[in-house]
């Protein structure tokens, strides 16, 4: 019997008693592994071979993982520094502990993200407390990294999954195929088998000479393995942001843009936020050690200062608290994107605006929050406002109902709230599709007279700040935004997830 040369080679190398892998057969025959695989499947289909498949999983340290084997996991280093600073007895300023830990750059965010998750302690209002009962020496992830560095096996799959999600370990999955001669294959070899000359492609020369009629063509196995190719893709947050942009544009809104680092004047002072408000301390804002911003409209600065000191209108009274122009000019990362609204409403960004107007932005904001499933140090805010005559809270609620209905979210609830810059104000809540719990998804209200009059706006303005990540939670049922954003992201989830339309 004549068979293709590759099939004959595989038959002769295979055994009826000892399973042999594709790689071993490739070594013995001198053929490429993919050629052996194709031949094995073809022989299996003819009944001459048995092919068994098993999944082999191997784990190897990434460069970052190897670094942490030497220096220690960031959260472990932070915990040890906290213990040395006495945080197991009384809370200690977070900056002091970070400074003594030697952590720098991205390691700080990684340490903060994992410190609470592992039960090493808590971070609240910029202070860090440590649990004296925690045992950093027995940190499961640190022990697993050390074991993998020694080529030892790690049995805890949950720990391995966590290390993979942190990009400290690479998981390599491989299908291992083993080949065994069947009874028919043994019989065929005993009867004798010859190699038939085969060709794997049709050439112009074969067509012109007529040779194609006498040759045997290699069969193609469409089930043969092919290398997995993973190209880049747009992050699901960006996909959702683009969809939000399409929805708001369709509702007649224009997009705002502006700096991430800005003068405190635009971030807070224009919003009638007193300069001694807790949210403006170093505990909650990220102040930058750079020269102050000098390019501020002087007349607007004067009007804003007057509103803070004396209030607005005959019944205005101001805050009776310190106000410093130096503080107003200081630079910080914006804690909300309402700084863009102030720039646009004042006419500073695009010139004076006539009513009616609708504007929005979808950009990052930065806050020194305690990290948890719904809070990160940076997040995307859906900022928006409408300027028109005779607006009311009913118009604001209707806008939200129209906006969220575009994403299949109809169960909205509103709760009265206090903001220094809006009155009336309310928070928005949506129902989580998996837990059925209400989660806060935004804050909103009608800008106060103390905000609008210094800006030169003489009509109503309703405004809001919504969390893009919270919208994502309601759309997909995520219960932890760290799965999709930040250093603990689930990469497999991000590769497979597609935005809902």
- Edge-to-edge strand ranges of the sheet holding 121-124: 92-93, 127-130, 121-124
Give the Cα separation of 29 and 376 in Å (integer): 56
- Residue range 33-47: mean pLDDT, rounded: 88
Mean pLDDT of 349-364: 91
For residue 66, name the pLDDT band (cuts at 50, 70, 90).
very high
For the segment 302-330, the average pLDDT, to the nearest whole number, is 88
CA 237/CA 493 separation, integer angstroms: 12
Q: What is the mean pLDDT of the chain?
A: 88
pLDDT at 213: 83
CB 382 within 8 A of CB 242: no
What tens digit of pLDDT does each residue of 203-231 get?
898 899 988 887 777 767 676 666 677 77
For residue 160, pLDDT over 80 is answered with yes
**Tell me, what's the pLDDT at 397?**
95
Which pLDDT belongs to residue 372? 73
Please tell me whether 469 is known to bind a ligand: no
Q: Is pLDDT above 80 for 499? A: no
Expressed in angstroms, the distance from the first to the final Cα of the chain is 58
Contacts (Cβ under 8 Å, ≥6 apart) of 292: 263, 326, 329, 330, 331
What is the share, in percent, of the chain residues with pLDDT greater than 90? 52
pLDDT tier at 139 (50, 70, 90 boundaries)?
very high
β-bridge mates for residue 217, sequence order: 199
Cβ atoms of 436 and 430 within 8 Å: the answer is: no
pLDDT value of position 225:
65
Query: Is residue 383 marked as binding?
Result: yes
412 pLDDT tier (thresholds 50, 70, 90)? very high
- pLDDT 10s digits, 240-278: 999 999 999 999 999 999 999 999 999 999 999 888 877
Is 22 assigned to a binding site? no
Q: Which of 168-177, 228-237, 461-470 has the lowest mean pLDDT?
A: 228-237
Structure confidence at residue 229 (pLDDT): 76
Would you put residue 167 in left (φ > 0), alpha (ψ -120 to 50) or beta? left
Tell me the pLDDT band of 501, cut-offs 50, 70 and 90.
low
E strands in 325-377: 331-333, 357-366
Task: State what percent of residues in the chain have pLDDT above 70.
Answer: 97
Point out the least confidently predicted range of 122-131, 258-267, 419-428, 463-472: 122-131
Which of the four pLDDT bands, split at 50, 70 and 90, describes residue 282? low
* pLDDT of 162 higher than 80: yes
pLDDT tens column, 437-493: 899 999 999 999 999 999 999 999 999 999 999 998 899 888 888 888 777 777 877
CATH 3.30.70.980 assigned to 2-59+173-202: no
421 in a labelled binding site: yes
pLDDT of residue 283: 59
SS3 state of residue 65: helix
Ligand-binding annotation for 441, yes or no, is no
Residue 221 has a pLDDT of: 66
User: What confidence score (pLDDT) does residue 68 get?
Assistant: 94
b/e 136-169 (16+ beta carbons within 10 angstroms → b): beebebbebbebbeeeeebeeeebbebbbbbebb
Higher pLDDT, 444 or 322: 444
E strand or H helix at 477 = none
Block residue for tokens 């213990």? 83
- Give dist(CA 40, CA 46) in Å, integer: 10
The Cα–Cα gap between 266 and 202 comes to: 71
Strand runs (DSSP E) across 301-410, as ranges?
331-333, 357-366, 378-388
> Is residue 145 within 8 Å of 61, Cβ to Cβ?
yes
Query: Is 338 labeled as ligand-binding?
Result: yes
Among residues 60, 45, 384, 79, the alpha carbon closest in space to that of 244 is found at: 384
Is residue 55 annotated as involved in ligand binding?
no
pLDDT at 237 over 70: yes
Q: Does domain 238-496 have CATH number 3.30.930.10?
A: yes
Predicted confidence at residue 461, as pLDDT, reads 96
């Amino acid at each position: 019997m004549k068979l293709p040369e590759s099939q004959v080679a595989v038959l002769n190398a295979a055994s009826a008693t000892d399973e042999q892998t594709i790689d071993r057969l490739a070594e013995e025959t001198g053929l490429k592994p993919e050629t052996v695989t194709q031949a094995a499947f073809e022989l299996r289909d003819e009944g001459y071979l048995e092919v068994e498949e098993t999944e082999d999983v191997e784990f190897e340290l990434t460069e970052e993982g190897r670094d942490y084997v030497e220096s220690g996991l960031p959260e472990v280093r932070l915990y040890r520094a906290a213990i040395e600073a006495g945080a197991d007895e009384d809370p200690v300023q977070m900056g002091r502990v970070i400074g003594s830990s030697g952590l720098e750059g991205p390691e700080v965010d990684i340490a903060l993200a994992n410190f609470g998750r592992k039960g090493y302690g808590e971070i609240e209002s910029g202070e860090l407390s440590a649990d004296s009962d925690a045992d950093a020496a027995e940190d499961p992830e640190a022990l697993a990294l050390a074991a993998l560095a020694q080529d030892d096996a790690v049995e805890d799959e949950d720990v391995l999954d966590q290390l993979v999600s942190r990009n400290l370990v690479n998981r390599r999955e491989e299908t291992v195929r083993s080949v065994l001669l069947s009874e028919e294959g043994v019989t065929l070899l005993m009867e004798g088998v010859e190699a038939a000359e085969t060709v794997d492609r049709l050439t112009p020369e074969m067509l012109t000479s007529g040779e194609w009629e006498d040759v045997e063509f290699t069969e193609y196995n469409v089930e043969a393995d092919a290398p997995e190719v993973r190209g880049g893709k747009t992050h699901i947050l960006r996909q959702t942001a683009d969809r939000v942009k399409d929805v708001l544009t369709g509702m007649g809104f224009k997009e705002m843009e502006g700096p991430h680092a800005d003068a405190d004047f635009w971030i807070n002072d224009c919003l009638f936020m007193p300069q001694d408000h807790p949210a403006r301390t170093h505990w909650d804002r990220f102040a930058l050690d750079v020269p102050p911003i000098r390019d501020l409209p002087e007349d607007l600065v004067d009007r804003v200062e007057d509103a803070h000191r004396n209030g607005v209108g005959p019944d205005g009274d101001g805050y009776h608290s310190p106000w410093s122009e130096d503080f107003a000019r200081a630079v910080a990362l914006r804690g909300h994107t309402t700084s863009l609204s102030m720039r646009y409403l004042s006419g500073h960004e695009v010139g004076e605006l006539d009513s009616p107007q609708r504007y929005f932005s979808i950009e990052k904001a930065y806050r020194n929050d305690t990290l948890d499933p719904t809070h990160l140090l940076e997040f995307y805010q859906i900022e928006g406002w409408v300027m028109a005559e005779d607006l009311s809270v009913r118009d604001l609620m209707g806008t939200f109902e129209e906006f969220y209905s575009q994403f299949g979210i109809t169960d909205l609830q509103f709760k009265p709230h206090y903001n220094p810059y809006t009155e009336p104000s309310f928070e928005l809540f949506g129902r989580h599709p998996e837990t059925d719990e209400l989660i806060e998804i935004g804050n909103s209200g009608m800008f106060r007279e103390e905000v609008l009059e210094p800006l030169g706006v003489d009509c109503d303005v309703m405004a809001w700040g919504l969390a893009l990540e919270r919208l994502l939670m309601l759309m997909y049922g995520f219960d932890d935004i760290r799965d999709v954003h930040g250093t603990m992201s689930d990469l497999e989830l991000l590769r497979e997830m597609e935005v809902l339309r």
